[in-house]
Structure formats: C-alpha cells, structure tokens
Amino acid sequence: MICTKKWIDWLGSIAQATMERVDQAFRKVFDKLIIKEWPINQRILASLAQKEVTQATIVRKLTSYTRQNQTKKALWELENICRSAHILTFIDDHLYRQHIQKALNRGEAYHRLRRAIAYVNSGKFRVKTEDEQQIWNECSRLIANAIIYYNTLLLSRVYEQKLAAGDQEAIQFLKDVSPVAWRNINLIGNMDFTEEPSIVSIEALAARVNDPNFWRKSLEG
C-alpha cells in the first residue's frame, strides 16, 4: 500500500511539472499589434500570393532594419497563430495527418525520380561551370516533368475508360496510383534519331490497358 501511494504521488508530481511547463509554453497573442499593422500585412500577403515578390525578399527587407520593426513583429505574431492552429489540427485530425503524409510522399517520389534520371550518367555529375550545372539541373527537371505528364495522360485515359465501364474497383485503384513513376520508362535504352520517328499513341496504350486480361496481369505483377 505504501509503495502504491508513493507511486501515485510520484506520478502526480510529474503531471504537475508537465502542466507547469505547458502553461509556460502558451502566451497571449498581441492582437492589437496585428490589427494595427493589418493593412500593410495584407499588401505583403497579396504580393506573395500573386508571386510579385518572394518570401526571401520580404524577410531580407524586414530584418534589415536596425530597430524592431512593428510590421515584422505583427507578421511573426500572425505566423504564430497559423502555426498553433496547424499543430492542434495535426494532433486532433488523423485525416489531416494523412493528407500531409501523402504530400510528403509525393515530394519524396519526385526526388527519387530525379535521382533515377541522374543515374543514367552512371551517377556521375559531369559539369565544370555554374552555367553547365544550371543547364544539367533544368534538363533533369524537364525529363522528370515529361515522364509525369506522360503517366498522367495515360492514367487519365484509363480512368475515363473504367468510368465509362462502371468499374468501381478499378476506379478506386486508379485514385491511389501516382503518376510519379518510371518502371514503364526505359531510361537507359538506345536513342534512335531517324528521319521518321514513331509517335507514341496514348489511345492505343489505353485501349491495351482496358483489356480485362491485360488489366488483371498488370495488377498481379
């Protein structure tokens, strides 16, 4: 009984200390400052939304003042409100967490695609100047976007066919398929620059996927 009481008292002291730290982590928002600087902050947010200026430019200008800038402090307070709302929603809403995780997975998949494209050159980065590095990076981005566009177009055609056929199982499956994939792309194949290049027919590929036997084998593979 004594051990149990000591155990309960110990847990109570930990809970009390935890609550004190939680209370210290919260403070009142300076709403008067946000309201006072709201017209200026509205123009800043509108400029960012219309991509007339970058975030780095805004931060650099606001932090260049020698004294504390009221506009910067108001933006920081507004950012604290948005961050708190995001954290609380992230904790309480599991669907919100899933959406964020899916977005992170898309970003990771895109980076893996970029690495796969870069490995075509045996993984070697062969540039000498900054301009060559920029060209190499933009070429890699162009190839990645072309692959994503091709996959998206093909998936859209297949989705339209399954939707017309009323195949709900296939429709649900296609909703979870990401166009950021390259298993169907031959990144290290032979380049044939003939005078009469063959044109890839998306409709023919979609019709092939629409075949029940081919669709079943694709799911099994």
Q: Over the stretch 151-182, which tens digit does the pLDDT of each residue have?
A: 998 888 888 888 887 878 888 888 878 888 88
Q: Is residue 120 part of a domain?
A: no
Q: Is residue 202 part of a domain?
A: no
Q: Is the pLDDT of residue 183 over 80?
A: yes
The total of other beta-carbon atoms located within 10 Å of residue 78's CB is 19
Helices (H) and strands (E) in the chain, counts: 10, 0
The total of other beta-carbon atoms located within 10 Å of residue 74's CB is 22
| pLDDT, greater one: 67 or 35 | 35
The pLDDT confidence band at residue 2, using thresholds 50, 70 and 90, is very low
Q: Is residue 47 part of a domain?
A: yes
SS3 call for 4: helix
Q: Is residue 85 part of a domain?
A: yes
In which residue are the tokens 């910067």 written? Answer: 72
pLDDT in the model for residue 90: 87
Q: Is residue 212 part of a domain?
A: no
Number of domains in the chain: 1
Q: Is residue 71 part of a domain?
A: yes
Q: What is the pLDDT of residues 99-110, one digit of tens each?
A: 888 888 888 888
Q: What is the pLDDT of residues 44-89, one digit of tens each?
A: 888 888 888 888 888 888 888 766 788 888 888 888 888 888 888 8
- The residue segments making up the domain with residue 37 are 28-92
Q: Is residue 49 part of a domain?
A: yes
Q: Is residue 76 part of a domain?
A: yes
